[in-house]
Chain A
Amino acid sequence: MVSRVSIQTADFDLAAEVAALRAGDPGVGAVASFVGTVRDRNDGSAVSDMELEHYPGMTERAIESMIDEAMRRFAIRAARVVHRVGPLRVGEQIVLVAVTSAHRGQAFQACEFLMDYLKTQAPFWKKETTPGGARWVDARVADDAALARWGISAGNA
């Protein structure tokens, strides 16, 4: 059994992660995945790299409980979340959410649900380097609104 949540400094391999998630389950008919990457611009400034901080222990627990909630809400067979921490350069992968199900609809929905949940409820903080110096990234009201679509009040931004 693949562990459901990994918080790591190392990069991840999407194909290998999906293969491991599907392995040994012939009932899987759909895999949906999302990969978030470091963008070269944010809030009107060029970004060269960032540092991701987290709350060890709480991060893993929070995401585990999000996966439990996704399993209750959607007919999915397995889910996997990998989130990197530490220094990251533009273009690098930050986060992976992958979900398997019998049919595509539930996999798409559960993948989006997990990402919306993670954005506002998992304790990570990004500090980005811009030409004007390093700055903490502001939370977005739009991310709270995305979670509200699922009937959950975020209260983050």
Chain B
Amino acid sequence: MKVRVRYFASLREALGASETVELPAGSTLGTLRDTLAARGGRHAEVLARGRAVRSALDQVMSDESVPLHDGAEAAFFPPVTGG
């Protein structure tokens, strides 16, 4: 399945605003993060386990256990700091 991945704030500066990723069925936000981090380079650096990264699926704050679907909009970003 194809998933669009969007990045914000410091992750956007490191990785760009968005990219499209092909994933096996059954993938979750967490496996997507690991797949991206496994590419190495900047992806590995900013998406590594232990880094504070929050995620959303289809524009709703979601934890990494949430399953993805074809055409999903996933997003990774640092902890939010509005208000």
Contact = CB atoms under 8 A, between A and B. Distances in A.
A125 B56 contact: no
- Range, interface on chain B: 20 to 34
Contacts of A124: 80-83
Contact of B78 (A54, A62, A136): A136
Given A123-B56, A156-B54, A62 B61 contact: yes
Contacts of B80: 119-125, 139, 156
Interface in B61-83: 61, 63, 75, 77-83
B59 A125 contact: no
Contacts of B59: 55, 57-58, 61-62
A136 B12 CA distance: 12
Contacts, number: 80
A21 interface: no
B79 A121 contact: no
B34 to A, nearest CB: 19
A36 B75 contact: no
A95 B9 CA distance: 19
Nearest to B56: A58
B77 A95 contact: no
Chain B contact residues: helix, strand, loop or mixed: loop
Interface in B11-62: 12, 52, 54, 56, 59-61
A90 B40 CA distance: 39
A46 interface: no
A95 B82 CA distance: 9
B68 to A, nearest CB: 16
A84 to B, nearest CB: 10
A58 B55 CA distance: 12
Interface string A22-42: 000000000000001000000
Interface of B: 6, 8-10, 12, 52, 54, 56, 59-61, 63, 75, 77-83
Interface of A: 36, 52-55, 57-58, 61-62, 83, 94-95, 115, 118-127, 136-139, 143, 155-157
